[in-house]
Amino acid sequence: MRLADGRRLVYCETGPREGSPVFYCHGAIGTPLGRSVDLELITAAAGIRHIAVSRPGVGGSDPAPGRTVLSFADDVAQLADLLAIERFTVVGVSAGGPYALAIARRLPDRVERVAACSSLSALCAPHRTPGMQRRVRLALAALAAAPGVCAALGELALPLVRLRPELLSQVIAIHAARSEREHLRDPSERSAASNAFLDAATGGVRGMVDDYLTYSRPWGFLPVDVQAEVHLWHGLRDPLVPAEHALQLAITLPRCRVFIDPDEGHHFFRRRLGAILAVLTGRQPDAGAGYATSLAAARALTAARSGLTRPRAGLPAVDARPARHPPPGARSRWE
């Protein structure tokens, strides 16, 4: 579509037109194509109209110099108007989490709920995250310090990735949690990652570099100002966005529910998509016994599953049921 300022905004729509509308904010490497995660089957079964939006400079969407995380919400509002959608829910994954929260902040009368999966928080810039793998932190610090050089190097590497897309999957697996590496060997997972990246790099990698710089800076709002109900999904073993980010969001968001999988890392979203959408749209009230609602409960559940140790005395009982959100205006609790 063409936005009011003349920029082109690219989006991909999947699922029945009459389904519950869900806007999807992609991660750092772009919007996965519908075929990559059985999205057509999932959306058809759940009755969901899934709308994946490519951010400025990514996946064919025109750049927007000087943009902020919050300003992207205005693009989504125009798209929702074009599609005649008044009320909707939002999903943001990893780097898309801040954008999903921004949409809820800017459009409080239109956003019903938000799911932020493996999401960054406003704790700090990603390359300053405590607990992040050193090699990842150094690479992101170089990206922040010399974005032009990194973009040029990325452009040189693009032909090789197009020729051998499996190289990207290998890099992702190296930086994944050990518990996830077997899943990432699945051909459909490898295809999803390469398709997403190559689609995002339609106009080159500069857009992804600019996107990183955008969400590394102040977002333009505070999480405490987001009044919509937010579902936080996170893997306790996430090496790329450590669970401390979920902690920061949980203690600042006024209305949130927490779902922590003790065994997952950063890349569980594709395999949990059906459950995440079902809970988000209210079709399934409970995520099941595989999730905990606090870091302490998640660690206790990990210990119970391993059978090697027992939870220390004083830890709260494991309650895998999602916590009921507090009333509007109340602060979230993190056990």
Q: What are the tens digits of pLDDT across the range 203-256?
A: 889 999 999 999 999 999 999 999 999 999 999 888 888 888 888 899 899 999
Q: What's the pLDDT band for 56 if we cut at 50, 70, 90?
A: very high
Asked, for residue 333, whether it belongs to a domain, the answer is: no
Higher model confidence: residue 317 or residue 154?
A: 154
Has residue 1 been placed in a domain?
A: no
**pLDDT at position 32:** 62
**pLDDT score recorded for residue 206:** 92
- How many whole angstroms from its chain centre is CA 151? 23
Residues 6+ apart with CB under 8 A from 164: none
User: Is residue 15 predicted with pLDDT exceeding 70?
Assistant: yes
Is 142 inside a domain boundary? yes
- Tally the domains of the chain: 1
How many other CB atoms sit within 10 Å of the CB of residue 207?
25
In this structure, the number of other CB atoms found within 10 A of the CB of residue 164 comes to 12
Looking at 15-29, 34-48, 173-187, which range is the least confident one?
A: 173-187
Identify the weakest region by mean pLDDT among 24-28, 210-214, 280-284, 315-319: 315-319
Between residues 216 and 330, the one the model is more confident about: 216
Residue 316 has pLDDT above 80, yes or no: no
Query: What share of the chain in percent tops pLDDT 70?
Result: 87
Q: Residue range 58-84: average pLDDT?
A: 96
Task: Determine the average pLDDT of the residues in 151-164.
Answer: 87
DSSP for 28-80 reads TTBPPPGGGGTHHHHHHHHTEEEEEEPPTTSTTPPP-TT--TTTHHHHHHHHH
Residue 318 lies in a domain: no
pLDDT value of position 33? 53
- List, in order, residues 6 or more apart from 242 with CB less than 8 Å away: 129, 130, 131, 132
Q: Tell me, yes or no, whether 315 lies in a domain.
A: no
3-24 mean pLDDT: 95
Amino acid at 210: D
Averaged pLDDT, 78-88: 98
In a domain? residue 238: yes
Q: At what angle do helices 134-145 and 147-163 cross, to 10 degrees?
A: 120
pLDDT band at 184 (very low <50, low <70, confident <90, very high): low
Q: Following DSSP, what letter does each residue of 116-127 receive, concatenated? A: EES---SSS-GG
Residues contacting residue 248 through CB under 8 Å, at least 6 positions apart? 121, 122, 123
The predicted pLDDT at position 203 comes to 83
Q: Is residue 329 part of a domain?
A: no
Q: What is the pLDDT of residues 94-148, one digit of tens each?
A: 999 999 999 999 999 999 999 999 999 987 888 888 777 788 888 889 999 999 9
Q: Which helix (H) or strand (E) holds 21?
A: strand 20-25
The residue type of 93 is V
Most confident listed range (143-152, 165-174, 177-186, 292-301): 143-152
Do residues 1 and 78 lie in contact, with contact meaning Cβ atoms separated by under 8 Å?
yes
State the pLDDT at residue 292: 83
Domain span at residue 205? 11-306
Q: Which of 43-47, 105-109, 160-164, 235-239 has the highest mean pLDDT?
A: 105-109
- Between 216 and 183, the more confident residue is 216
Q: What is the CATH number of the domain that holds 103?
A: 3.40.50.1820
Q: Residue 102: which of 129, 126, 76 has the closest Cα?
A: 76
**Higher-confidence position of 35 and 262:** 262
pLDDT greater than 70 at residue 315: no
Q: Which of 111, 88, 120, 114 is nearest to 241 (CA)?
A: 120
pLDDT of residue 36: 52
**In this predicted structure, what is the pLDDT of residue 214?**
95
Q: How far apart are CA 14 and CA 9, in angstroms?
A: 17
Is residue 314 domain-resident? no
